[in-house]
Amino acid sequence: MSTVKVTDDTFQADVLQSETPVLVDFWAEWCGPCKQIAPALEQLAAELEGKVTIAKLDIEQSPTTPSRYGVRGIPTMMLFKGGQMASMKVGAMPKQKILEWLTEAGVAA
């Protein structure tokens, strides 16, 4: 499975009401570091299928949700479990660090 696109309109259903944990990547087309981590997120989406959903939200096309969650810099990754934001990381990081973060959060073990 690859990453899933979410928007302000689909955030409630796709993220907050999801049965599985969801990592949301807040990004924008003009953001270099966002593009750097995109391949790692695609790989993790495939490797962790069924354990965690990896979603991408373009802050330019859907500005309401990032504003609601206080996103100030991108890339910002937020992990949602049971409709609640459980953990957050700001800035680009290598795939291994993202995997360690998800493992610590109990979704990639």
Catalytic (active site) residue 46: no
| Of 15, 22, 23, 31, catalytic | 31
pLDDT in tens, 11-29: 999 999 999 999 999 999 9
Catalytic (active site) residue 34: yes
Domain borders along the chain are 4-95
- Per-residue confidence (pLDDT) for residue 109, from 0 to 100: 67
- Helix, strand and coil percent figures for the chain, each rounded to 5: 35, 25, 40
| Of 22, 34, 55, 102, catalytic | 34
Overall pTM surpassing 0.85 (yes/no): yes
Cα-Cα-Cα-Cα dihedral sign, residues 99, 46, 11, 37:
positive
Q: Does domain 4-95 have CATH number 3.40.309.10?
A: no
